Each structure stands twice: as structure tokens, then as C-alpha cells.
Structure 1
Amino acid sequence: MSTLVQIQVLPHHLEDEDHILEKVFQKVDFSMNEVSQWSIRKRSIDARQRRVLYNLQIELWLNGDKKPVREPYIINDVSNKPAVAIIGAGPAGLYAALRAIEGGLKPIIYERGKDVRSRRRDLAAINKEHIVNPESNYCFGEGGAGTYSDGKLYTRSKKRGNVLKAMEWFVDFGATSDILVDAHPHIGTNKLPQIITAMREAIIEAGGEVRFNEKLTDIKHENGQITSIQINDSVWYDYDHVILATGHSARDIFYLLHNRGIKVEAKPFAIGVRIEHSQSLIDQIQYHGDDQNPYLPPASYSLVEQVDGLGVYSFCMCPGGIIAPCATDVEEVVTNGWSPSKRNNPYSNSGIVVSVSPQDLPNYKENDPFVCLEFQKKVEYDCWVAAGKTQKVPAQRMTDFIAGKVSTDFPKTSYQPGLTSVDLNEVLPDMLASRLKKAFVAFGYKMKGYLTTEAVLHAPESRTSSPVKIPRDDFSLEHVEVKGLYPCAEGAGYAGGIISAAIDGINCMDRIIEKHN
């Protein structure tokens, strides 16, 4: 049995163990002599007051208490076990495969894109040459969208499954143990590829399979049961259990299911722009002028405002980050943000997006599953056209956007393909532009200095979540009409990030293991 103690320390005391323990023993009625072990269980920054502090949750074990020792991930031999198909090698697919091995099943992952290392050439092509590979990009390929777009591990989905287990598996495969402590854990795009590779190697070592450049192109079901899948328009494989973990950008999967009589439905999502400030400005605002403190990390922020009946909020905020081109097809432009592990770039970026429900859209029809998807596609196409039909993005200084005038120049930004100066009021639908303008003004009051001519809007930020939901049974996690088909994670509308997707992958595989047992 352990004891938990909450304390606050100044940033320069964060690694001073004597100071930490002195504050701890001011709050308990026993001495250090009675303690066998202690550790920091949770760590977060409190910048709400003029003085920035760290909140620490300290865990103590008294003499006679035994600190639990966790067994690392164990690789079992499943080469001759029943096979389960997993479509997609993102966090949901990889974690489903790891859980299958734990449960005595053989996972076979089909991934439309390339392995995590080979993806880099395609990312370089889109950044430098404006060439989009529809099968290998920031969204498609081993590790999924999160691998090269930040690696944030924060989730609010505490009730969906074992968050700690998902985090510990990351540590088992190479992540620093700091992710088990930080309130907003982050691995970083520069470190995630090695971790993803280690997971794949473990799956193969156990007798599982990871197949790249193998795309789901058709599906068969009979009498309400999945029977087989087609890969690359050619080979059919028979399966009783298929986990569909294809990600929020695999639009072809939504159309495929619909065409095969498998129910899909429209789902609320969010869309807007990605804004970039200098990181030094955000540090100065958030740390109340203490922005040169070497003990403080690059600052983040979270903003939300209700505007004309819809929510406008910051999304995927990246301190010390870079804005990346995340299109998955040739006639579209998409932005997203990422940070390296040290978050040491001079820029700060965040999506600022408007919540959109199907009923909010001008072309809404009650039984149209693609009304949100088509809206998303049109915004991306219009931005592509406005930027010159390249991977440049239509851009505007924030103050010019509010004033409705085209920017004559830009400060240096992190978006490598380049910017095209436009009036985003004329490019974006009015339902988005009008609300974004009001929200930026409100955010300027909430964060003094945020509303500045030095901030640049890059459009669009559109892949926040899936605009289509693949409905499933709440208990079995199978599709509501097709047994053995498990819609999973972000692409099905049941997750919103790396950890929640990983947990959903585990949960879907748990149901399959229960059936086999």
C-alpha cells in the first residue's frame, strides 16, 4: 500500500530531491526513516498565477510495503495459432496485434503504405517537390498519422481502457519513462519511428505478420457475418474476424463499406486553420514574462470559445513545432502540426477549428452518410486551387484576416512547401471564416498578445477527426450489422489520438480473444 502526497515546487527545484522530500514531509505524519522507496507519480505545470509552479504527485512506500514490479511485454510464439486480420498499422492496429500475441492469436496486419523508414522519402517529396503519394504520406504508412505528426500521448479517454498499460508498452519498446509521469506526455516525431519499428519486430518475432503496400480493396459478408477481404484488387483471404483500423483519412474505406451495403453514417467533426506564432511570444504570454527561465519547457495553450452557436477551439497545439503538408490525394491541401522530442523549434502552432455537425451544413440530408466528408473535401480542394494547385497553402496574417485584406508579406514560417497570400474570408466557407474571426478577437482578450500581426494562418486544418462513423455494438464492438467486423479507433469514430486509438485496438482484440476462449 502506498501513500500519495501533492506538493508544488518552483521550476528550479524540480530535480532537487532534498527540497522535494522536505515539502513532502511537511504534509505527512511519518519520517523519512519510515520510507523504503518514493517516486514522482505525476508532474504538471501550473501557470495560472503570476508565479509558475510544478504540481507534483509523490508516491511513498513505507518500510514493509512492497513497490509493485511490472513485467515488461512478453513475446509468445503464435506462429501456429488462429489468425486475425488487422487492417492498418497505426497505433490501433499495432496495439491490437500486440494484444493478440498476449492472448494467443496470430495477428496479420495489412498496411496500404510503406514501413516507417521508407515513408520518409515520400514526406520529403511532398515537402520539397509538392508530390503527393496517395498510399504513403503523413497519414498513411506504418505507425499511422501520429508517427510523423507529433506523437502526443495525452488523452481524456480515461474510461475507455487501461491508459497506463498503453503507456507502459511504449516504454517497453523504447520510450522514456517520463511519459508515465508527465501530465501531457509527448514522444516526438524524431523518436517515434524507432519505437514503431521495435513493435513491428516484436510482432514478427512472435510469428505474426506485417505486410506493407497491401491495401484493402473489397470485402465480403454473408448472412450478417464477415467472410473474406480482398487485397490490392487481386487476392482474397478468408477471415472470421477483421479489425478495421484504417484511420480518419482512408476515405475509400467509407465508400467501399457503403457500396457493399455495410452501414456508415455522418459524424460531427471540426475544421478551420492552423495558426503559427513565435514560440518566444507564447512563452512570454503563458509564463507571465518569465520566458527565459531555463527550467521551463516551451509553453502550450488551450483555448475555447462559443461563437454563434458553434464551438471554436485550439486543437493539437504544438510547442516548438512545425506545420506539415498532410494531403492524402493530389487535388487537396491539408495542414497538421508536429514537434520533435525537445520541442526546440522557434515556432509554435495550433489548429484553431470550428465544431461542425451534419445538421450545420448547407447540403444536409438526414440519410446522407457523406455530408460532412464532402464538405471537408470541398474545403481542401478550394484551398488547393487558391494556393495555385500545389502543396503551398493559402495563408494570411491573423490581423489581416480579421480586417479582410490580403497580406502583402509574411514573417518566416515553418511550412516548407510555401505560402500563397489570399483573403481566407473568400476561400473558406462563411460559416467557418465568420466564426474564426470572432474567436480570434476573443482569444486576444484571453491571452494578451495572442492577437498579433506576426501570427500567420495556414489553411486548412481539416483532419481533426473522422467525418464518418462506422457504427458498432457497444458491448461486442462488432459492426451493428456485420459480425466479425470490428470498426476501430479514429477511422471509425471511436478515438481521438494515439493513446485512445491504441486502447481501442486493445479493446477490439480483447473481444476477439474472448470469442476464441
Structure 2
Amino acid sequence: MSILVQIRVLPRQQEDEAYLLELALEKAKLRKNEIKDWRIRKRSIDARNKTVKLNLQIELWQHSDTREIIPAFIPQEISKKREIAIIGAGPAGLYAALRALEAGIKPIVFERGKDVRSRRRDLAKINKEQTVNPESNYCFGEGGAGTYSDGKLYTRSKKKGNVLKAMEWFVHFGADPDILVDAHPHIGTNKLPQIITSMREAILEYGGEVHFNSKLTDLKLKENRITGLQINETNWHSFNDVVLSTGHSARDIFHLLHNKQIKIEAKPFALGVRVEHPQELIDHIQYHGDNDNPYLPPASYALVEQVDGLGVYSFCMCPGGIIAPCATQQDEVVTNGWSPSKRNNPYANSGIVVSIAPQDLPNYTPDDPFVCLNFQKSVEKSCWEAAGKTQQVPAQRMIDFVEGRLSTDFPKTSYLPGIVGADLNLVLPPLISKRLRKAFVSFGRKMKGYYTNEAVLHAPESRTSSPVSIPRNPETLEHVEIKGLYPCGEGAGYAGGIISAAIDGINCVDAIAKKYAEK
């Protein structure tokens, strides 16, 4: 077995491999001639004190140790009798397809949007012409929302599956191996498209199918069992197993299930604004003034506060990032954030959102699965109207928002469609606005300099997670009422990011493979 040791160094010392090895050997009480190999296994930044340090976990192999290298992705010959439908080619759908190939099952993927290259033209139209293609946008298309929403790979879902396997697959298909080392791994929106393309090419190479511009429009059921599905309102396909991985914004799927009397439920989610600061300011705060240190990456932050009984917290913080327009319909506006791999833009942005449970909403009834979804839609439409019914968003400087006055001017924004000055206290529901006001003041006490009029609020940040869940059996992972239907990923309420969605895709296929094995 290998030996693991922890060392702490200054950021500038991380590139001195001889020094790192010397510290690790001293900690392990070994001499250099007693080891045959070593590597940095984990890396994180400790900025709690004025002197910023790096925490490194070093792995050492002695001569008697074996270092077995197992291929990350091992496809099998697929069975002609075993095939599954996968609805959606986001992280959950793609990983489900790859796992199916490892299990000898033929995956047939149906994606409502376009392939990742063609999708770029529709994203450009949102930014330049302010027109939204409801089937091809930041949320829909190959790779799903994950392709164009930063590529952060951090997850707390350690108990839900094999995180390392999910990460190793990213590396296998082209990601930087550093994602296996960093405590908060990040690929970057500029690099994800090629990785997603490589995954699709592998699915096709090993016998799977991927169909774009192929929208699920109906399901065929018999005796509470899935028997087929309809694509684009015309083409019927027979399937006994369907992985439903449609993402958090496929509202039509929730309505389809409800109309077919397939059980769905209202689910807690979060809604607020996306806040943009100068990255230089965040670096200065987090690195205690050492923001010109070339060995430190652009700084991030994480904030949380309980305000009047509800949690307010930072979400999807993007250092050196860009705010993106993520609407899926023309009559709404939605913001999200992403960063390129180098995180070298001059802005830092983060969602600051309020946790909302169905019971928190004034029109809540226990039998309404759409109470949170309808609230989400109403906020997105109100913001669209407040900004002039375009893909611009209503905006306000932070202190102006808290003190209730209009902002008369704005710094440059990374949000390409543009911003329109508005009093967000009048645009957002009081449930949200009054808690945000208190939270920003509190965050300013926790991070000296955060509460500033240099920060601009862009509204709304509303697609944090699905406002609807699709209940499933915790053992079989099938829908609680419909055999052969596997609700999966963020859209079903079982994931909260790229890696957790990918893991859930793997888990659903493992459940299907187990069923085949038992037969």
C-alpha cells in the first residue's frame, strides 16, 4: 500500500518538486532511495490566516508497493437483446450511456437540442439578437446545462456513488488531470465542448446511438409499466427501460408526466440574484491584500446566513467569470454564471439565493406539484417585463438595493445582452427581497469589503435546482408507480451539479443492469 502524508507550503513553493518531496519524506520518515514514485494527490488553499498556504496531500510508493493503473472506461460488447432509452444528453444522460456500454447494454440517447457545435449559434443569438430558441439554449442541447455553466466538479454527494470514477472519466475524455487533485476542481466552459464531443463519439464508436433534435412528447404505458415513447409528436419507439434525465428546466416534461397521471411532487429550491464584483476586490478580501501573488488563483467565496427562518447562501460562485443568459423561453429572463478554464475575466460572480420550500409560498396546497415551478416562472416573467421584455435583465447596485434607491449608473457588466436599472425591491417578491437585503449587510460583516456599491445585482438567479421532483423507489430507482421509468439527475431531484448528476446516471444504469442480471 502507498503512504499518504500532509504538508503545508507557501503558494510559490508548490512548483519546487524537490522541496515538496523533501518535506513529504521527512513527514513519512523515509529516505529518497526507499521510494520508487510519488505524486500530489490532493491540493487546497488555506486562506484563513493572513499568510495564505497550500495544503497538499502527498502519496508515496515504496519499492515493495504495487501501483495498479486500471483503465477508466472499459466498454463491453453490447447485447442485441438489451437496449435502453436515455432522454437527455446532459451529464446524467451521457454518463448513463457510457455506463450502459460498460454493462453491455445498448444506449439510445434522445436529446431535444442540437449537438454542442451547432448549439453555439443559438447561444450567440441570445447574446446578440436577444432571441431564445426554446429547444437549443444554455439549458438544452448536447451536454445540457453543464456544458455552458462553468464546469465546476465539486460535489458533497460522496455517499451516492463513485466520485473518483466520474472524475476519471472526465480525464479519460480530455479534461486536465489536475481535476483529480484540486479540492474544488474546475474544467472551464471553453474546454467542456470538446470533452462532451469525445464522450458522444465514444458512445457511437462502441455501438450506442445519439439522436439530436429529438424531443420526448409522449409516453406509452401498460399496466403501470413503460412500453414506449414518442419523439417529436410523430415517431413511436418501443422501450421497456427509460432513463429520464431531462434537466431542471424541462418544464414540459413535468406537465407531460402530470397529464399522464404519473406522480410528481413540488420540491424545495432557491431563488435570488446573481451578484457581480470586480475579481480584484474579491482577491483582495480573500487573500488579505496579497491579491497580486502570481501563484494564487482567482479567489472564490462561500457565504451562508439564516434570515427570518430561511437560508440565504452563495450558489455557483464563478471566479474570473461571466454572467450568462439562461432563459428557455422568450418571455422570461434567467441568469447563471460560468468561468473559462483560466478564470481570467475581470469579474467575480455568484448567485445569492434564498431557500424556498413549497410551504413557504402563499398559495401552497399539498396536492399542487407546480406551486414552486409557478412561483419560479412568475419571477422570471416579472424580471423580463421590468427590463423591457428583452433578454436584458433588471439590475441595481448592492447598497442602492439595500437602501431602496435606484442606481443612476453602472460599471461594465459581463452580461452580454445588457442590464436595465430597476428597483429590485419592487421587481422581486418580498419573500426574496427582504431576506436578500439583510443577508448582504451580514455578508459584509463576514467579508470586509463585500458589501459595496461596486457590486451589481442581476435578477433573477432562479434555476438553482428543479422546483419539481419525480419520486422513485430508493432500492430499484424506478418511479414509485411506473416500472421501467428511471427518473434521473437534477431534473428529477436527485442531483445538484455535474458530478452528482453524472453519478446518478451511473447508478440508474447499474440498477437496470442488476435487474437484467436477476432475470
TM-score computed with the length of structure 1 as normaliser: 0.99
SS of equivalent to 2:43: strand
Q: What residue number does 2:264 align with?
A: 264
Matched, 1:121 2:92: no
Question: 1:4: which partner in 2?
Answer: 4
Q: Which runs of structure 2 are paired with 1:352-431 in the superposition (5 Å)? A: 352-431=352-431
Give distance in 2, aligned partners of 1:79 and 1:194.
29
How many Å separate the matches in 2 of 1:420 and 1:81?
57
SS at match of 2:144: coil
Alignment of 1:279-298 (within 5 A): 279-298=279-298
Number of the residue aligned with 1:191: 191
Is residue 75–residue 202 contact of structure 1 (8 Å, CA) maintained in 2?
no
Cα deviation, residue 78, structure 1: 2.5
Measured against aligned partners, the alpha-carbon deviations of 1:127-176 in whole angstroms (never above 9, x if no partner) come to 01000000000000000001011011110100000000000001110011
Give the whole-Å Cα distance in 2 for the aligned partners of 1:255 and 1:193: 30
**Per-residue deviation at 1:82?**
1.7
Instruction: Check whether the contact 2:266–2:469 (CA below 8 A) recurs between aligned residues.
Output: yes
> Partners of 1:146 and 1:28 in 2: how far apart?
40
Larger mean CA deviation between 24-33 and 138-147 belongs to: 24-33
Instruction: Say yes or no: does 1:432 pair with 2:432.
Output: yes
CA offsets 1:226-275 (integer angstroms, 9 cap, x no match): 11111101111111100000000000000100000100000000000000
The whole-number CA distance in structure 2 between the counterparts of 1:37 and 1:446 is 43
C-alpha separation between the residues in 2 aligned to 1:237 and 1:81?
15
Separation in 1 of the partners of 2:348 and 2:117?
26
Give the structure 2 partner of residue 112 of structure 1: 112
Name the CA distance, whole Å, in 1 between partners of 2:275 and 2:134. Answer: 26
Indicate the SS of the match to 1:337: strand
Match of 1:344 in 2: 344
Task: Give deviations 1:397-428, integer Å, cap 9, x for gaps.
Answer: 00100110110010001000011100000000
**8 A contact 1:5–1:58 mirrored in 2:** yes
Distance, in Å, in 2 between the alignment partners of 1:89 and 1:29 is 49
How many angstroms does 1:74 deviate by? 3.0
2:204 maps to 204
Alpha-carbon separation, structure 2, partners of 1:22 and 1:83 = 53
Q: Look up the equivalent residue of 1:383 and give its one-letter code.
A: C
Identity across matched positions, percent: 73
> What displacement does 1:14 show?
0.6
| Cα offset, 1:81, TM superposition | 4.7
Which string of whole-angstrom CA distances, capped at 9 and with x for unpartnered residues, describes residues 347-404 of structure 1?
Answer: 0000000000000001100111000000000000000000000000000000100110
Q: Which residue is equivalent to 1:326? A: 326
- Do the aligned partners of 2:476 and 2:511 also contact (CA within 8 Å) in 1? yes
1:79, distance to aligned residue in structure 2 (A): 7.3
Unaligned runs of 5+ in 2: none
Distance 1:3 1:72 in 2: 23
Equivalent in the alignment of 1:69: 69
> 1:349 aligns to what SS in structure 2?
strand
Give 1:29 shift. Answer: 2.4
Once the two structures are TM-superposed, the CA of residue 17 in structure 1 deviates from its matched residue by 1.1
Output one character per residue of 1:285-317: Cα deviation in whole Å (capped at 9) or x when no partner.
Answer: 000000000000000000000000000000000
Partner residue in 1 for 2:515 = 515
Aligned counterparts of 2:419 and 2:30: Cα–Cα separation in 1 = 62
Structure 2 partner of 1:180? 180
- What is the alpha-carbon distance in structure 1 between the residues aligned to residue 97 and residue 25 of structure 2? 45
1:182 is aligned with what amino acid? D
Distance in 2 between residues matched to 1:137 and 1:239, nearest whole Å = 28
- The equivalent of 1:236 in structure 2 is 236
| One-letter amino acid matched to 1:263 | K
> Contact between 2:75 and 2:104, CA under 8 Å: does it hold in 1?
no
User: Who is 1:166 aligned against?
Assistant: 166
SS in 2 for 1:367: coil
Judge which range, 485-494 or 27-36, deviates more. Answer: 27-36
2: CA distance, partners of 1:275 / 1:70: 43
Give the 3-state SS of the residue equivalent to 1:107 in structure 2.
strand
Q: Can you give the 5+ residue segments of structure 1 that lack an aligned partner in the other structure?
A: none
* Equivalent residue runs for 1:212-223 within 5 Å: 212-223=212-223
1:448 offset after TM fit, Å?
Answer: 0.4
Contact between 2:72 and 2:165, CA under 8 Å: does it hold in 1?
A: no
Instruction: Give the secondary structure class of the aligned counterpart of 1:420.
Output: strand
Asked if the contact 2:38/2:59 (under 8 Å) is kept, the reply is yes
Instruction: Please give the per-residue CA displacement for 1:464-515, whole angstroms capped at 9, x wherever unaligned.
Output: 0000000000010000000100000100000000000000000000011111
Q: Distance in 2 between matches of 1:167 and 1:453?
A: 39
How big is each residue's C-alpha offset from its partner over 1:440-468, in whole Å with a ceiling of 9 and x where there is no partner? 00000000000111100000000000000
Determine if contact 1:41/1:57 at 8 Å carries over to the other structure. Answer: yes
Looking at structure 1, the residues matched to 453 and 341 of structure 2 have their Cα atoms a distance apart, in angstroms, of 29
Question: Which whole-Å CA distance do the structure 2 matches of 1:24 and 1:63 have between them?
Answer: 16
**Secondary structure at 2:57's aligned position in 1?**
strand
Distance apart, 1:28 and its partner CA: 2.0
Tell me, in whole angstroms, the C-alpha distance in 1 between the residues paired with 2:276 and 2:264. Answer: 35
| Alpha-carbon distance in 1 for matches of 2:70, 2:414 | 41
Residues in 2 aligned to 1:72 and 1:58: alpha-carbon distance in whole angstroms? 22
Conserved 8 A contact 1:379-1:460: yes
Letter in 2 for 1:487: P
Give aligned pairs, total: 517
